[in-house]
């Protein structure tokens, strides 16, 4: 028996209607347990607005004008009228829902939509390329719309437009999978399985088919990126030593994190967001081929642009020129040479190393890699002597590093988790300033005077991983040069929405709202309590949240981060506590 697509969209409507994580979980459990296990992976992807995890690079985005054209010939409504609907509703899915009503009489011969058919057509739309592909894409979409109900049309169009975001955090999905298919005690193991496979659909299907016993099958695989281990921060070396005792300090390189999967016939490179960036760094691929002595392995490091004459690091922006580039790769390679500093080894010649200690992983990394001009090991110092670390810290800054990362010698590699086994220590901390934070743009205020026609300030939010929502922390209007400022409206246009996104929690009114997508790096002077901003509301003080004081854009668009990778509310609270400690 095939599953009706209508069953999915009914649940989406319920999820969209609630901001409460527990209710969302209940609806998801209902959905996960009502569909056949063999299609659960597809159901999970569709619910996330995807066809596959990001590292497959399968994008469903169909240009708005093609969607409007398709709606026109499916419904018989003129293009102008569809555009008016779009303006009124402010969302292409809602416009489709309204427009499709018109086609009702003609749809007597409709063939009810199944999940399999919708997914199948979506896949064909994503795969279509070359001449005639636009017509083919429209035909595939029209087939679905011809047979869809109004509600189905809303979600089909949202999906193909790439705006199917009903606000379910990964952690909520994991909670629902635990309730649906396992015992409470195994919830963390499900999270671990997700961190290793980076694929919620695949984990869901495994659980539905095999129950929690299936979790034993989740191991590292070459070619499947693993979610990165992340660091906490502390503002003094004394505190670091208190937490870790004797530990390893490494230079903190300022570049792009790269996870390399090396086998005898292939090398794949993945970014911090687990996108496949192999094609953008052919020089890293060949340098790794040269340096790697094992048969197969997974190693991690930071790719940093370097001045090959002085050996000094260049600003991070230089390497960002290389990302997303598909043309002139050779030119980019020469203009912006990068050096890869490896700091971890997760797999070597058939052996998973995640549970081994840092000391052992580092030894294996050393044995597997022969350092050359383009591939080096991260510079490391193992010590418990504060003065030694201070000198080492200065050295890191002198060659263009950002500071140090302290690592617990006996720690395993905990994928996808921000923990105290890795602690970053940057120059700013010592001066009592807050660290840079990566915040999501959720709204904007109209500019006046010199800024008329662009935005006066952006409303910025941190991600609350607890409930999957975005909580505001500041208005950002400083740090933009004129060119950036003038370009911002264009850059944000595709994310503009008519009203506040349901995932955004804000007491402030904005003139423009955006779906939480774009992440910027911001530096403030302090974190203060705020009667307005909603991050950590009631946490530090009843009736108040936390805000970033005197925020300034550092100039860095964090394209390597998705909204869920932004600085979390929990981190903001920790930074506030750190800062108060330093003050007292
Ligand atoms: P995060 O990746 O933790 O969300 P971020 O991208 O803003 O945050 P930081 O928290 O400032 O980066 O630092 C962590 C990042 O530093 C790592 O993800 C990695 O890309 C980079 N890095 C540089 N040098 C090292 C090193 N020696 N060991 C581990 N990571 C390093």
Q: What is the pLDDT of residues 104-144, one digit of tens each?
A: 555 556 788 999 999 999 999 999 998 889 999 999 999 99
| 90/567: higher pLDDT | 567
Residue 438 · residue 566 · CB < 8 Å: yes
* Predicted local distance difference test score (pLDDT) of residue 357: 98
| Length of the chain as a residue count | 584
Q: What is the 3-state secondary structure (H, E, C) of 161-191?
A: CCCCCCCCCHHHHHHHHHHHHCCHHHHHHHH
Within 10 Å of residue 138's Cβ, how many Cβ atoms?
A: 20
In the predicted model, is pLDDT for residue 483 greater than 70? yes
* Predicted local distance difference test score (pLDDT) of residue 87: 83
Task: Using the mean position of ligand 1's atoms as its centre, give its distance from the Cα of residue 475 in Å.
Answer: 26
In the predicted model, is pLDDT for residue 519 greater than 70? yes
225, 226, 228, 231: residue to mutate for ligand 1 pocket, most atoms within 8 A of CB: 231
In the predicted model, is pLDDT for residue 79 greater than 80? yes
DSSP character for 479? S
What is the Cβ-side half-sphere exposure of residue 277, based on CA atoms within 13 angstroms?
24
Task: Using the mean position of ligand 1's atoms as its centre, give its distance from the Cα of residue 96 in Å.
Answer: 43
* Predicted local distance difference test score (pLDDT) of residue 466: 84
Portion of the chain with pLDDT greater than 70, in percent: 94
Cα(373)–Cα(380) distance, rounded to whole angstroms? 18
Domain borders along the chain are 230-425, 437-583
> Nearest-CA neighbor of 95 among 105, 85, 87?
85
> Nearest-CA neighbor of 325 among 278, 288, 286?
278
In the predicted model, is pLDDT for residue 167 greater than 90? no
Looking at residues 83-87, what average pLDDT do you find? 87
378 Cα nearest atom in ligand 1:
27
567 Cα nearest atom in ligand 1:
4
Backbone torsions φ then ψ of 414, nearest 5 degrees: -100, 100
Query: What spatial distance separates the first Cα and last Cα of the chain, rounded to whole Å?
Result: 66
* Predicted local distance difference test score (pLDDT) of residue 308: 74
Residue 528 · residue 424 · CB < 8 Å: no
256 Cα nearest atom in ligand 1:
20
225, 229, 249, 252: residue to mutate for ligand 1 pocket, most atoms within 8 A of CB: 252
Residue 77 · residue 98 · CB < 8 Å: no
Task: Using the mean position of ligand 1's atoms as its centre, give its distance from the Cα of residue 556 in Å.
Answer: 15
Residue 233 · residue 429 · CB < 8 Å: yes
Query: Does residue 252 carry a catalytic annotation?
Result: yes
| 56/334: higher pLDDT | 56
pLDDT-derived band at 431 (thresholds 50, 70, 90) equals low
Task: State the pairing for strand pair 380-383/526-530.
Answer: unpaired
438 Cα nearest atom in ligand 1:
7
DSSP character for 30? H
Task: Using the mean position of ligand 1's atoms as its centre, give its distance from the Cα of residue 421 in Å.
Answer: 13
* Predicted local distance difference test score (pLDDT) of residue 373: 87
Most trustworthy range by pLDDT among 420-429, 438-447, 484-493: 438-447
Task: Using the mean position of ligand 1's atoms as its centre, give its distance from the Cα of residue 379 in Å.
Answer: 15
Structure confidence by residue, pLDDT tens digits, 300-347: 999 998 887 777 888 777 666 666 565 666 665 666 689 999 999 999
> Nearest-CA neighbor of 526 among 507, 506, 549?
549
Task: Tell me the Ramachandran region of residue 12: left when phi exceeds 0, alpha when psi lies from -120 to 50, beta otherwise.
Answer: alpha
Residue 178 · residue 184 · CB < 8 Å: yes
3-state secondary structure of 60: coil
Nearest CA to ligand 1 atom 31: 252
422 Cα nearest atom in ligand 1:
29
* C-alpha dist (Å) from residue 240 to 28, 235, 253, 433, 460: 41, 8, 19, 18, 30
228, 255, 299, 302: residue to mutate for ligand 1 pocket, most atoms within 8 A of CB: 302
Q: Which parts of 271-379 are beta strand (E)?
A: 297-305, 338-348, 351-352, 375-377
Portion of the chain with pLDDT greater than 90, in percent: 68
Helix ranges (H only) for 376-505 are 386-398, 427-430, 482-492
Q: Treating both helix axes as pointing N-terminal to C-terminal, what angle do 150-160 and 115-127 enclose, rounded to 10 degrees?
A: 30
> Which residue's structure tokens are 């004797």?
246
State the fold for domain 437-583. Answer: OB fold (Dihydrolipoamide Acetyltransferase, E2P) (2.40.50)
Of the candidates 42, 50, 252, 561, the residue annotated as catalytic is 252
Task: State the pairing for strand pair 418-426/230-233.
Answer: parallel
pTM (predicted TM-score): 0.86
Looking at residues 375-384, what average pLDDT do you find? 97
Residue 234 · residue 243 · CB < 8 Å: yes
In the predicted model, is pLDDT for residue 68 greater than 80? yes
Residue 280 · residue 323 · CB < 8 Å: yes
Q: Which protein residues touch ligand 1 with a CB less than 6 Å away?
A: 228, 230-231, 250-253, 257, 272, 302, 343, 378, 405, 424, 438, 565
- Window from 39-48, 325-334, 356-365, 420-429 with minimum mean pLDDT: 325-334
Structure confidence by residue, pLDDT tens digits, 252-280: 999 999 999 999 999 999 999 899 999 99
Nearest CA to ligand 1 atom 20: 257
Residue 141 · residue 163 · CB < 8 Å: no
* Predicted local distance difference test score (pLDDT) of residue 21: 84
Looking at residues 403-407, what average pLDDT do you find? 97
Structure tokens at 71: 């709606």
Task: Using the mean position of ligand 1's atoms as its centre, give its distance from the Cα of residue 231 in Å.
Answer: 7
Cα(264)–Cα(35) distance, rounded to whole angstroms? 40
Task: Using the mean position of ligand 1's atoms as its centre, give its distance from the Cα of residue 230 in Å.
Answer: 7
Options 3.30.470.30, 3.40.50.720, 3.40.50.920, 3.10.20.30; which CATH number does 230-425 get? 3.30.470.30
* Predicted local distance difference test score (pLDDT) of residue 512: 94
Cα(154)–Cα(152) distance, rounded to whole angstroms? 5
**H or E element: which one contains 235?**
none
Nearest CA to ligand 1 atom 19: 257
Cα(217)–Cα(301) distance, rounded to whole angstroms? 27
In the predicted model, is pLDDT for residue 233 greater than 80? yes
Structure tokens at 467: 């409930």
Looking at residues 422-447, what average pLDDT do you find? 84
3-state secondary structure of 292: strand
Residue 97 · residue 85 · CB < 8 Å: no
Looking at residues 391-403, what average pLDDT do you find? 92
Cα(189)–Cα(195) distance, rounded to whole angstroms? 10
228 Cα nearest atom in ligand 1:
18
* C-alpha dist (Å) from residue 51 to 48, 56, 119, 483: 9, 9, 8, 36
Looking at residues 29-36, what average pLDDT do you find? 96
253, 382, 557, 575: residue to mutate for ligand 1 pocket, most atoms within 8 A of CB: 253
């Amino acid at each position: 028996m095939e599953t009706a697509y209508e069953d999915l969209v009914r649940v989406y409507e319920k999820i969209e209607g609630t901001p409460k994580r527990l209710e969302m979980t209940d609806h998801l459990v209902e959905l996960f347990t009502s569909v056949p296990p063999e299609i659960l992976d597809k159901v999970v992807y569709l619910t996330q607005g995807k066809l596959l995890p990001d590292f497959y690079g399968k994008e469903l985005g169909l240009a708005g004008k093609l969607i409007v054209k398709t709606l026109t010939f499916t419904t018989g409504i003129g293009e102008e009228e569809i555009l008016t609907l779009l303006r009124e509703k402010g969302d292409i899915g809602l416009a489709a829902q309204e427009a499709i009503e018109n086609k009702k009489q003609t749809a007597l011969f409709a063939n009810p939509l199944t999940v399999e058919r919708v997914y199948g057509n979506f896949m064909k739309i994503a795969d279509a390329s070359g001449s005639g592909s636009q017509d083919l894409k429209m035909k595939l979409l029209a087939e679905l719309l011809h047979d869809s109900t109004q509600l189905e049309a809303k979600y089909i169009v949202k999906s193909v437009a790439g705006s199917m975001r009903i606000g379910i955090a990964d952690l909520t999905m994991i909670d629902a999978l635990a309730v649906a298919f396992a015992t409470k005690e195994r919830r963390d193991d499900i999270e671990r399985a997700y961190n290793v496979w980076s694929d919620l659909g695949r984990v869901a299907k495994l659980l539905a088919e095999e129950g929690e016993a299936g979790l034993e099958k989740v191991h590292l695989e070459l070619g499947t990126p693993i979610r990165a281990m992340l660091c906490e921060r502390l503002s003094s070396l004394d505190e670091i030593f208190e937490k870790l005792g004797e530990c390893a300090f490494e230079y903190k390189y300022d570049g792009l994190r790269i996870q390399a999967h090396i086998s005898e016939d292939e090398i794949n490179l993945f970014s911090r967001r687990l996108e496949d960036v192999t094609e953008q760094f052919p020089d890293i691929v060949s340098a790794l081929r040269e340096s790697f002595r094992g048969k197969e392995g997974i190693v991690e490091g930071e790719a940093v642009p370097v001045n090959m004459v002085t050996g000094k690091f260049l600003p991070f922006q230089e390497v960002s020129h290389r990302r997303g580039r598909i043309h002139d790769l050779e030119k980019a390679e020469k203009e912006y040479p990068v050096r890869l500093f490896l700091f971890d080894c997760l797999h070597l010649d058939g052996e998973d190393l995640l549970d081994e200690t840092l000391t052992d992983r580092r030894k294996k990394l050393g044995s597997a890699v022969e350092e050359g001009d383009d591939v080096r090991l991260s510079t490391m110092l193992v010590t418990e002597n504060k003065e030694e670390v201070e000198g080492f810290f200065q050295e890191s800054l002198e060659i263009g590093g950002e500071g140090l990362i302290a690592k617990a010698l006996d720690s395993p590699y905990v994928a996808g988790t921000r923990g105290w086994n890795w602690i970053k220590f940057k120059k700013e901390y010592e001066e009592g300033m807050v660290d840079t934070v990566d915040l999501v743009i959720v709204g904007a205020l109209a500019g006046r005077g010199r800024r008329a026609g662009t935005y006066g300030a952006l409303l910025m939010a941190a991600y609350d991983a607890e409930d999957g929502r975005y909580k505001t922390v500041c208005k950002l209007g400083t740090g933009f040069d004129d060119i950036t400022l003038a370009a911002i409206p264009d850059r944000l246009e595709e994310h503009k929405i008519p009203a506040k996104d349901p995932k955004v929690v804000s007491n402030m009114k904005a003139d423009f709202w955006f779906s939480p997508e774009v992440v910027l790096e911001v530096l403030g002077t302090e974190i203060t309590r705020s009667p307005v901003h909603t991050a950590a509301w009631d946490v530090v003080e009843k009736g108040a949240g936390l805000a970033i004081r005197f925020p300034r854009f550092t100039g860095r668009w964090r394209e390597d981060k998705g909204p869920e990778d932004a600085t979390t509310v929990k981190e903001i609270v920790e930074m506030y506590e750190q800062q108060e400690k330093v003050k007292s």
